Amino acid sequence: MRILLISDVHANLTALEAVIADAGQFDAAWCLGDLVGYGPDGNECVQRVSRLPNLLCVKGNHDLAICGDADLDIFNHEASEAILTSRRIITPETINYLRGLPEKLVTDLVTLIHGSPRNPVWEYILDATTAADNFANFSTRLAFVGHSHLPLMFTANPENGLVERTHRLPGATTTITTRAILNPGSVGQPRDNDPRASYGIFDPQMMTWEIHRVPYDIPSVQQRIIAAGLPEKHALRLSAGW
């Protein structure tokens, strides 16, 4: 069984379509939030994600903010400018869809959140200490998170509870033998200096986890960002991956 893991699409339809094409056959899709914000294609990304097979999807901080359900003071200047511009683009149907997303989904095996198990929408899990604190805040074996835009893996040693952090590179298959917090990286705005769209493939029967990276037509997205009146910074960063 192949499950497609995506996060932080950020209104980048070209990257999203490249990921879906590259992933090939998959049985289900799990989306970890931030479908909108930064990019030009918020409505189209929400429509495309909502049609994925057996979809489970949670909401992110940008999804909340574009709906007007979060205080913009929390965001930096360029992020809040992008949110204000995006609100002019986003349709009422998109707002309804985003508002209906849960902050957390829990199955027998996994917990899905955008940020962290203890603070589902807002907390970044970037280091082993923060990850270690969060292992007590979910009861499933695995948690999948997004938000940092980095394909990170945190594993908890069952003997001593020590948490190890790994930045996952594409091309290797990991068999997960411990509790773990897994991040598939960002589809629409990677931040690890690799501009290729990032996604994960999880097999719950084999307990395997892979990160994949796929190139896409970045200049076309940059042109649409500028044409939409979104901050130029969010166009420039795509070609460098930050």
- Report the interface residues with Zn ion, using CB under 5 A: 8, 34
By C-beta, is 179 or 237 nearer to Zn ion?
A: 237
Shortest spacing between CB 45 and Zn ion, in angstroms: 13
Shortest spacing between CB 54 and Zn ion, in angstroms: 23
Shortest spacing between CB 204 and Zn ion, in angstroms: 25
User: Hey, what amino acid is at 239?
Assistant: S
By C-beta, is 37 or 204 nearer to Zn ion?
A: 37
Question: Which ranges of the chain would DSSP assign to H, the alpha helix?
Answer: 13-23, 42-50, 61-66, 77-89, 92-99, 128-134, 218-227, 233-240
Cα(58)–Cα(31) distance, rounded to whole angstroms? 7
**What are the tokens at 96?**
């309804």
Shortest spacing between CB 65 and Zn ion, in angstroms: 11
Residue with token string 């090939």: 24
By C-beta, is 8 or 41 nearer to Zn ion?
A: 8
> Residue 126: CB partners within 8 Å, gap ≥ 6?
148, 150, 152
Burial of 100 (0-12, 13-18, 19+ CB in 10 A): exposed
By C-beta, is 34 or 192 nearer to Zn ion?
A: 34
By C-beta, is 53 or 68 nearer to Zn ion?
A: 68
By C-beta, is 34 or 210 nearer to Zn ion?
A: 34
Q: Which among 177, 223, 160 is positioned nearest to 12, based on CA atoms?
A: 223
Beta bridge partners of 4: 29, 201
Shortest spacing between CB 13 and Zn ion, in angstroms: 16
Shortest spacing between CB 51 and Zn ion, in angstroms: 21
By C-beta, is 115 or 204 nearer to Zn ion?
A: 115
Cα(25)–Cα(1) distance, rounded to whole angstroms? 10
**What are the tokens at 120?**
């589902």
Beta bridge partners of 197: 214
Shortest spacing between CB 62 and Zn ion, in angstroms: 6
